[in-house]
Amino acid sequence: MEKKILVFSNGEKIGDGIIKLPLLYEIKKRLPEHKLVWVTNKGSTTYNDKLKFIAEQYIDEIIEKADLSPFFWMKVSKNYDFENTFYEYILDTQKSLYRTIALKRIKNKQFISATANGLFSSIKFIKKNKRRYYLDDLFALLDLIKKSKIEENFKIKIPKDLDLNLNKFFKKDQKYFGIAPGAGEKNKIWPLENFIKVGKYFLNKDYKIVLFLGPEEKHLRENILNQFPEAIIPEELISNFSNIETVIASTKYLKFALCNDSGISHMLSTSYCPLIKLFGPKESLKFTPKNKMIHAISASKFNNNKIDSISSKYVIDTIDKVIQ
């Protein structure tokens, strides 16, 4: 009989999907003989869309919008046949009581879930109350199936053709650093003039700037290029790969990158280069991976929750320490 593990989620957008990639890697590393089936309940997952080029390295099958029912007189799923399927392991990554009860109806050998403090889990565990990076909670659940040391510097595999394309624009004897000055919310955006100050400092140290802009940040392009006319914008150079693929692959050529707490910041969190990530009102611990290459600077360090309280000098000093 084919060995299978089902992982159940609420669905993933790009940011969530990138954050969870180390979980996919750990599952396949620990259970290489198992088929990994990723199931969402009502939502869809970026693993079947924009991050498919990465996810397909780990996920064997994706089932979206399963729409599970907890009621025994109804089919487990309106859209899929789970009645005749058996999973050695089911890993429940969400905590909705309704959905967990529905999920538990699927035949399995071991059911792992943190819902209701592990009430429905085949293996009982003690939940730690300490606040921590939320992926740690998922790793703790995976440890109940098979424990292993976590690969802290997990690296996303870059398509060879994309790497060859980028090689044409990045010179081996040139130092590059990336900046991503935008974010989805205004209170998460460090002032542009501060990014420019940092840029000029490292420009004087013979670095070349690589600029990353999201769809809503194109208005910053002209201001930055006026200051740094030789800056590289990778997404404008590569046409046969998606912007997400291009941003992720570009980190391989950077000495470091500087960004706000944004969607692009997740793409830059690849372990190929040190990343200095700036936080304003949002507490940084929960959303910063335990990765030695990622360095969080929070406004709370300055007894404030406003991101502009972080000085450009402090950021420059931090970067100098990181790259020395």
Q: Is residue 116 part of a domain?
A: yes
- The reply to whether 317 and 172 lie within a common domain is yes
Residue 65: left (phi > 0), alpha (psi -120 to 50), or beta?
left
Domain end, chosen from 91, 113, 145, is at: 145
- The reply to whether 177 and 319 lie within a common domain is yes
Q: Is residue 165 part of a domain?
A: yes
CA dist 252 and 218 (Å) reads 24
Domain end, chosen from 118, 145, 172, is at: 145
Q: Are 306 and 299 in contact (CB under 8 A)?
A: yes
Alpha carbon of 2 to those of 36, 55, 80, 135: distances in Å?
Answer: 11, 21, 19, 28
- The reply to whether 168 and 100 lie within a common domain is no
- The reply to whether 193 and 301 lie within a common domain is yes
Q: Report the predicted TM-score, pTM, of the whole model to 2 decimal places.
A: 0.86
Q: Is residue 52 part of a domain?
A: yes
- The reply to whether 319 and 224 lie within a common domain is yes
Q: Is residue 152 part of a domain?
A: no
Domain containing 97 — which CATH number?
Answer: 3.40.50.2000
Q: Is residue 201 part of a domain?
A: yes
Residue 155 — φ and ψ, nearest 5°?
A: -115, 135
Q: Please check the confidence at residue 290 and state whether its pLDDT lies above 80.
A: no
Report the chain's mean pLDDT, rounded to a whole number. Answer: 90
**Position 16 confidence tier, pLDDT thresholds 50, 70, 90:** confident
Q: Are 245 and 18 in contact (CB under 8 A)?
A: no
> What tokens appear for 196 in the block?
């420019």
Q: Are 92 and 115 in contact (CB under 8 A)?
A: yes
pLDDT (tens digit per residue) in 31-80: 999 999 999 998 999 999 999 999 999 999 999 999 999 898 899 998 89
Count of beta carbons in the 10 Å neighbourhood of residue 136: 15
What is the predicted pLDDT for the residue at 262? 86
CA dist 112 and 134 (Å) reads 17
- The reply to whether 126 and 195 lie within a common domain is no
Q: Is residue 154 part of a domain?
A: no
DSSP code for 10: S
- The reply to whether 318 and 196 lie within a common domain is yes
What is the predicted pLDDT for the residue at 132? 62
Within 13 Å, how many C-alpha atoms sit on residue 215's CB side?
4
Q: What's the domain range around 184?
A: 161-323
- The reply to whether 124 and 15 lie within a common domain is yes
What is the predicted pLDDT for the residue at 269? 85
pLDDT (tens digit per residue) in 241-276: 889 999 999 999 999 999 998 888 888 987 789 999
In this prediction, residues 301-306 reach a mean pLDDT of 86
Alpha carbon of 282 to those of 268, 296, 303: distances in Å?
Answer: 19, 12, 13
- The reply to whether 206 and 310 lie within a common domain is yes
pLDDT (tens digit per residue) in 119-174: 999 988 766 656 567 788 899 999 999 999 988 778 888 888 999 999 999 999 99
Domain end, chosen from 96, 111, 145, is at: 145
pLDDT (tens digit per residue) in 228-241: 999 999 999 998 88
Q: How many domains does the chain have?
A: 2
Chain mean position to CA 320 = 25
- The reply to whether 285 and 318 lie within a common domain is yes
Q: Is residue 75 part of a domain?
A: yes
- The reply to whether 129 and 168 lie within a common domain is no
Q: Is residue 151 part of a domain?
A: no
- The reply to whether 246 and 319 lie within a common domain is yes
